[in-house]
Amino acid sequence: MHEAKHHTEHCHHQAKVAASDSTEDLLREKEQADQAYYKRLMREMTIALGLGVPLMLYGLFIGEMTVSSTGERIGWLLVGVATLAVMLFSGRHFYVGAWRSFVNHSANMDTLIALGTGTAWLYSMVVVFFPQVVPEMARHVYFEATAMIIGLIDLGLALEIRARGRTSEAIKRLIGLQAKTARVLRDGQEVDIPIEQVLQDDQVRVRPGEKIPVDGIVLEGHSSVDESMLTGEPMPVEKAKDDEVVGGTLNKSGTLLFRATRVGKDTALARIISMVKQAQNSKPPIGRLADVISGYFVPSIMIIAVISALAWLNFGPDPAIAFAIVSATTVLIIACPCALGLATPMSVMVGVGKAAEAGVLIRNGQALQTASQITAMILDKTGTITEGTPKVTEIVALAGVDEAEALRLAATLEQGSEHPLAQSIVESAKERGIAPAKVDQFNAIAGHGVEGGVEGRTLLFGNEKLMRDRKIEIDTHLEQAQTMASQAKTPMYLAADGQLIGLIAVADPIKQDSIAAIKRLQKDGIRVVMLTGDNRDTAKAVAEQVGIKEFFAEVLPEDKSDKVSELQKQGEIVGMTGDGINDAPALALADVGFAIGTGTDVAIESADVTLMRGSLHGLADAIAVSRATLRNIRQNLFGAFIYNAAGVPVAAGLLYPFAGVLLSPVIAGAAMAFSSLTVVTNANRLRLFKPQEH
């Protein structure tokens, strides 16, 4: 039975491993395929330009590319045949693609290139074979255009492949973080095994300087671990017994023995990789217009080419037919649907990858776009602005009870509560060696406190509101509590059988860099609002310390989302930052929900954006990256729109009546080839983006 179970687990595990393994294999195969395609295109480009460049130079500096004698006809016929060979060798993929699309009633970039180069070649062959059918002035051949266009577009495609490869650098780096082997204890012996064979609950040993292979919980040892590659947090994190370690991070100083808790595709790293990949391929709404245009683009360009040719034939100067052919060819060649189509996905690819490098995981294109538009940011206080690990700082014992007794009673009540403040009380009692008693009829009153029976007494422990609700007299100590609150401490009242017996102040230290990060957000023009369940005075003191002017205090957990909608009703685009677990409804309601993780214990699936490290700088980085990416997309879309909107009319000859300018098809080919390369290169510029120094 045990064996059967183990076997099932093993098989299940193998399946998981196969999935994680394939990510790396697929990437390697993709790179190999891209490399092979790159080489092929470069070869084809060399052949095409090998014919096109000398022909063009001949036309520019040596002779006319016209047909007027039999000798010239034979010469050009040979060139025409050579051009056909180039078309078949270097441009075959355009013609096959164009034909296959055509019979499928669709049209794409291949269609435009095939029609453009095909028209130029066919016209030239007509001039060679039947010069008498075209006017003398129009007996010009365009073989050089055909060869040059094919060569230039092949070159553009090849360079684009190279540039595209760079857009996925971030994901490659993440995949590269995965260790190849792990040292596990099997039958009392340490053995090195491939990472794929590590099972859940295996005991894994990591020495100084080694990568932590899978996720787990430390059993023995002490070390500092560099988690910067996942969280963006530059300081190494101390790890000891019962701490979590994450696969892909680097063990620095000591040796650790840990129990594997997540392996294969369940590790944090594997989930991050899969989420980043998914997000990189998703499109923000800003790209939708370009998609709609792309859908109608190619047939529209074909129609414009026909109209342009007709216009030249009807109204153009002599030789009208030559002008008509040149303009139609140039229109077909210059139009670049690819630049439009590439504008958005390339920037998203780089931007999402860049964010991941900074420890910011963006769920999809929609989240990326909305994050760039945020006007108001709600920050939950506990765990977001503060450390989230409150400590007891002051105990005031009253009514004949001493401090230790007050703490003991409070800890007794709080031992069943999961609230961070409750835990601080229990911890504090433990530190002082005070053992809590037994509690009866425990009841947690959300947002207010707790109550229960201890040693025959009815105890109440909580905030001012709870005391007032239960008619406990607290006015004599109100001032003392307010002083605590004004020092950013949270005062809590302890009452026994209807009488106040103590005041306990708990303070949650503000994270070291919260102030600087909040300043960054405010500098970006974002209205920062703090949200807390804490009392008004404490909230005010914390808000003042970190430089926040607006705050919502005494908010019950279930009312957090109301505050989000309150700001939304004021017309704000609202970001909400919380720990992703207690704030889930508010995070979901916000335009963008940011889950802030401490270390790597993150709820990756729960938010639009996950911040891997606890620092609020991650939040400012997320917004900075999303804004930079959207700016980049806008530049790309603008460039692609303008390029096509200006290029096509110029190619059609719109400038000719005013300036006597008609574009050469070769220039059009070069412009087209480099327009999509420009888009990819501009997207790659994002790789250099650095969030503001902090």
Residue 257 or 307: the one with the smaller Cβ distance to other proteins is 307
How far is residue 574's CA from residue 562's CA, in Å, rounded to a whole number? 12
The one among 85, 133, 185, 306 contacting other proteins by CB under 8 A = 306
Total Cβ atoms within 10 A of residue 550: 13
Nearest to other proteins of 179, 349 (CB atom): 349
Q: Residue for token digits 């790890």?
A: 239
101 binds other proteins (CB under 8 A): yes
Distance CA 632, CA 626 (A): 10
Question: Distance between CA atoms of 341 and 683, rounded to whole angstroms?
Answer: 13
Q: Which is nearer to other proteins, 33 or 446 (CB)?
A: 33
- Select the residue interacting with other proteins from 9, 10, 29, 190 (CB under 8 A): 29
Is the Cβ–Cβ distance between 521 and 377 less than 8 Å?
yes
Tokens of 522: 């405010």
Q: Which stretch, 288-296, 404-412, 498-506, 593-601, contacts other proteins (CB under 8 A)?
A: 288-296
> Active site includes 380?
yes
- The whole-angstrom distance between residue 11's C-alpha and the CA centroid of its chain comes to 33
CA pair distance 60, 671, nearest whole angstrom: 19
> Which range of residues in 6-14, 102-110, 182-190, 215-223 is near other proteins by CB under 8 A?
102-110
- Report the C-alpha gap between 509 and 511 in whole angstroms: 6
Candidates 303, 437, 478, 642; binder of other proteins (CB under 8 A) is 303
Please give the structure tokens belonging to residue 373: 């538009």
Does residue 26 interact with other proteins by CB under 8 A?
A: yes
**Closest to 115 measured CA to CA, from 155, 87, 144:** 87
**Which residue type is seen at 457?**
R
Using CB under 8 A as the binding rule, whether residue 609 contacts other proteins is answered as no
Options 154, 202, 226, 380, the catalytic residue:
380
Segment lying near other proteins (by CB under 8 A), choices 237-245, 275-283, 385-393, 659-667: 275-283
Q: Considering only residues 341-370, where is the footprint of other proteins by CB under 8 A?
A: 341-342, 345, 364
Contact window for other proteins (CB under 8 A) among 59-67, 118-126, 308-316, 471-479: 308-316
Does residue 161 interact with other proteins by CB under 8 A?
Answer: yes
Interface residue with other proteins among 19, 24, 82, 93 (CB under 8 A) is 93
Contact between 667 and other proteins (CB under 8 A)?
A: no
Spatial separation of the C-alpha atoms in residues 208 and 250, rounded to whole Å: 8
289 touches other proteins by CB under 8 A: no
Does residue 11 bind other proteins (CB under 8 A)?
no
Among candidate residues 343, 332, 346, 338, the one with its CA nearest the CA of residue 647: 332
Do 677 and 339 contact (CB within 8 A), yes or no?
A: no
Integer CA distances (angstroms), 133 to 67, 70, 74, 81, 673, in order = 12, 16, 18, 21, 34
Residue closer to other proteins (CB basis): 40 or 43 = 40
Alpha carbons 49 and 292: distance in angstroms, whole number? 35
Q: Under a CB-based contact definition with an 8 Å cutoff, are residues 248 and 229 in contact?
A: yes
Please report whether residue 337 would count as binding other proteins according to CB under 8 A.
yes
Instruction: Verify binding: residue 144, other proteins, rule CB under 8 A.
Output: no
Q: Give the residue numbers annotated as catalytic, written as ranges.
A: 380
> Using CB under 8 A as the criterion, which residues of the chain lie in contact with other proteins when the complex forms?
26, 29-30, 33-34, 36-37, 40, 93, 96-98, 100-102, 104-110, 157, 160-161, 164, 277-278, 281-283, 291, 294-296, 298-299, 302-303, 306-307, 309-310, 313-314, 337-338, 340-342, 345, 364
